[in-house]
Structure 1
Amino acid sequence: MPVGQVSAAYAGRAADYIDALGRIECTAEQDRAMIGAWAGGVDGLVLDVGCGPGHWTAWLQDQGRDAEGIDPVAAFIDHARAAYPRVSFRVGRAEHLDVADDSVGGILAWYSLIHTPPADIPAVLGEFARVLAPGGSLAVGFFDGPDLTPFNHQVTTAYFWPIAALTQRIEDAGFTVTARHSRTDPGARPHAAIVARRQPTGRIQPR
C-alpha cells in the first residue's frame, strides 16, 4: 500500500492508537531490554524512523542517546512534540530521511516497515544505508511468519516476514546482520527483530 494511504489510515486512527499504545509502559520489557542494549552501542544520532507517538524516541533520549523521531503522520508528530518537548520530532518518510550521507549512528525501525510492500523494502533499506555512517547500526522490529504474506492489520494491510527473507534483504542493502531475535507472546502475533551493522565499505545499490 502506498505511503500516503498508510499515513491516511493511521491519521484516522491516531487518537485511538495513542490511547492504546502510545506510552513506553505499553511496550514489552524484553523489547526495552533489547533496544536499550542495542542503543548503548550506538555512537551518534539515533533516528527513530516511524516513531508514531514518540514514546520510543523519548525513552532513547532518557537512556542518554541523542535521538530524533520521524513519522509521516502529522497527528503523531504533533502529539510527540507536546508530550516530549525536550525531544526533536519531524514529519518525514523512511524512503527519504532528508539527512546527509554517512551522518547517523543508528536507526530504529520498530514495526515501522510492516506496511511497506515487499517490492519497496530495498529502496527503504538503501536509504537507511545511505544515511548511516560506516559501522552504524540498524534495529528492525516486525511480525514473524513462515511466509512473506499480507494480513489484515487493525489499521491497514501489513506483512509477515520470515526472518531469513528479511535478513537477506538487509544484507543485500549493504549491512551485516549481527543478531536476530524471535518470540511469541500469549495472545499476540509472532515477533521478530534483526540488528545489523552497515558495512564499512561502499553501499550496495538496491536491486
Structure 2
Amino acid sequence: MPDTSTTTRAAYDAVAHRYADLFSDVLKSLPLERALLSAFAELLGPGARVADLGCGPGHLTAHLRALGLSAFGVDLSPTMITIAREANPDLEFAEGSMAQLDLPDDSLAGILAFYSVIHTPPAELPPVLAEFHRVLEPGGHLMLGFFAGDDPEPRAFDHKVVTAYRWSPDALLALLRESGFTEVAGMVREPQVGERFQQAQLLVRAPAAP
C-alpha cells in the first residue's frame, strides 16, 4: 500500500491544473485570513525568510512576497511546483516533503502551512511539527490553517482530493505545545458559501533564545 505522502502527491498531481484555476485567487474572498497573513508578515518583519509549505500553485508564496517577506514555496507535487514556477518566475519553489525539509536548523523566521497538514494522519503529525520546530530560528513563527471541528479527536473526512482530517483547535494547539510552540493568536470562522466546515488558523511561536 502506498504511504501517505505518495498517495497525496499523486492525488494533487492529478488535479493540479484544475486546483490552480479554482484557488489561485482564493484570498480575494478571505478578508480575515488576509488580515492574519498581514499580521504574520508584520511580526516577522521586512525581508524575513519564510517557507510556504504545501505551496500548491504558489499564490500564497506570491502574497507573502507582496507583504515584504523573502518567501519561497515547497510542495510534494512536482506538477504543482511546475505551475508555481510558471506563474511566479521570480520566486523560488522546490519539490519536497514537510516531514523532511532540505533546510538547515534555525534557518527560517517563519513557516506558513495553509491547509497543508490536513492530509497528514494524526499519528504522523508530531514528527512534522518537530521538523517545523527544527528549521525555525528561536522566536520564529508558524501559521497553520486547517478545517476545524468540535470533536476532541481528529476526524477523517472525504476531502475532494484525498482523505483529510478536521481538528479541534484546542486539540491541535495542545499538540503544538507538546512540540515546543507557544500560542500567539487563533481564529475560527464559520463556513462561507461553498465551504463545508469551520475554518481555523493558529499562529504560534518557537521559544526565544535564552
Paired residues, number: 202
- Are 1:197 and 2:197 matched, yes or no? no
Q: Which amino acid aligns with 1:58?
A: A
> Is 2:36 aligned against 1:30?
no
Work out the percentage of aligned pairs sharing the same amino acid. 41
**What is the letter of the counterpart of residue 8 of structure 2?**
V
Q: Distance in 2 between matches of 1:186 and 1:28?
A: 9
TM-score normalised over the length of structure 2: 0.92
Partner of 1:115: 119
Conserved 8 A contact 1:24-1:59: no
* CA displacement, residues 170-199 of structure 1 (integer Å, 9 cap, x when unaligned): 111111011111001333220011000001
Q: How does 1:140-155 map to 2 (within 5 A)?
A: 140-147=144-151, 148-155=154-161
Q: Distance in 2 between matches of 1:178 and 1:62?
A: 23
Alpha carbon RMSD of aligned pairs, Å? 1.4
- What does residue 66 of structure 2 align with? 62
Q: Select 2:178's aligned residue among 169, 172, 175.
A: 172
Corresponding residue for residue 182 of structure 1 = 188
Query: What is the TM-score when the length of structure 1 is the normalising length?
Result: 0.93
Question: Could you give the per-residue CA deviations for residues 81-127 of structure 1, whole angstroms, max 9, x where no partner exists?
Answer: 11111111110111111110011000000000000000011000000
1:41-56 alignment, distance < 5 Å: 41-43=43-45, 44-56=48-60
How far apart are the structure 1 equivalents of 2:85 and 2:112? 19
Q: For residue 24 of structure 1, report the CA deviation from its aligned partner.
A: 4.9
**Would you say the 8 A contact 1:24–1:56 is kept in 2?**
no
User: Which of 153, 160, 163 pairs up with 1:157?
Assistant: 163
1:130 aligns with 2:138: no
- Residue 205 of structure 1 aligns with which residue? none
Distance in 2 (alpha carbons) for counterparts of 1:180 and 1:47: 20
1:29, CA displacement in angstroms? 1.7
Consecutive unaligned residues in structure 1, runs of 5 or more: 203-207
